[in-house]
Amino acid sequence: MASALANRAMGAIVGSAVADAAAQPLHWVYDLQKLQGILDENPNPEFRPESANPFYRMQTGKQSCYGDQAYVLLESLSECGGLKVDDLTQRTLKFFGPGSEYDTPINDPYRDRSGPRPQLPIEGPWRQASLKSFLKNVDAGKEETGCETDCQIDGIAKLAPIVAFYAGHPDMLEKVEQAIRVTQNNDECVAETLAAARFLEHFILNGPDPKALDVVLSQLSDPNRKQPQDLDKAVIGHIHQVKENLSKTPKELIPTVFAGCVPSSAAWSPDS
């Protein structure tokens, strides 16, 4: 049993890294017609040799800005034997800050936005909004380094290492929140990420379970739940929405149910 649990924990970490690398060449393709054209050419787009990313171009096999955050978190947990917020903060600063691969003019957190629009896609990685705010907050000497306005997917995307490390521990959710707030000090982001952590922990501890949605709904509805958030009721609503649309394929779901959530690449950037 212990071996199976350890294998599932390891699988979560490795699977997360592989999935990020596999999807990276099609990252942030929000033009649904363009995406469909790509899928018509190859219905199995994993590890696409040529990047179609409209914002940045990286060699296939490399991690996105999300996968790199998961790597930094994994490294910190491994080196420290658990979560040490100060260590995670310093490693994040080193990996994404001055002198790093991410330290380019287009990625400058202080770049003048009133100037000419940059030519896209750029060559190299993209430093997104939460990381730019993180760097500014560190520069300003703030104790709370996380971005207060960014609620994008970073928290969930880098979740696997810390849930795998603390799965089954009573303070798992507390550790997840502490780690996420290093770069995203946003209540909406934290509430959604803690819900995702509950799902991942359940699968690591129990293996496949078709009733996982109901299990997490029950946890979030428990008045004595751990690490409660003011937005848990909203998260419950989102999960019910998922249940209602389980029969739909992504191709059916995105343009209909979530049409207003899909931004145009011409109007949106990861700095939004």
- Residue 20 host element (H or E): helix 2-23
pLDDT-derived band of residue 263, with 50, 70 and 90 as boundaries? low
The pLDDT tens digits of the residues spanning 6-26 come to 999 999 999 999 999 999 999
Q: What mean pLDDT is predicted for residues 199-228?
A: 97
The pLDDT tens digits of the residues spanning 127-164 come to 999 999 999 999 999 999 999 999 999 999 999 999 99
Classify residue 271: in a domain, yes or no. Answer: no
pTM for this structure?
Answer: 0.93
- Greater confidence (255 vs 234) lies with 234
Classify residue 267: in a domain, yes or no. Answer: no
Q: What is the mean pLDDT of the chain?
A: 93
Q: Residue 182 and residue 232: Cα distance in Å, rounded?
A: 21
Classify residue 268: in a domain, yes or no. Answer: no
Classify residue 117: in a domain, yes or no. Answer: yes
3-state secondary structure of 55: coil
Tokens standing for 192? Answer: 């959604």
Non-local CB neighbours of 52 within 8 Å, separated by 6+ positions? 25, 26, 29, 34, 38
pLDDT-derived band of residue 227, with 50, 70 and 90 as boundaries? very high
Q: Provide the CATH number for the domain around residue 141.
A: 1.10.4080.10
- Do the beta carbons of residue 95 and residue 68 sit within 8 Å? yes
Classify residue 50: in a domain, yes or no. Answer: yes
Q: Which residue has the tokens 């049993």?
A: 1
Classify residue 272: in a domain, yes or no. Answer: no
What local confidence, expressed as pLDDT, does residue 254 receive? 78
Q: How many domains does the chain have?
A: 1
Classify residue 47: in a domain, yes or no. Answer: yes
- Do the beta carbons of residue 165 and residue 200 sit within 8 Å? no
Q: In this structure, which amino acid lies at residue 271?
A: D
The pLDDT tens digits of the residues spanning 53-74 come to 999 999 999 999 999 999 999 9
Neighbouring C-alpha atoms within 13 Å toward the C-beta of 219: 21
Domain of residue 159, residue span: 2-261
Classify residue 266: in a domain, yes or no. Answer: no
pLDDT-derived band of residue 264, with 50, 70 and 90 as boundaries? low
Q: Which residue has the tokens 């409660």?
A: 228
Q: Residue 23 and residue 99: Cα distance in Å, rounded?
A: 27
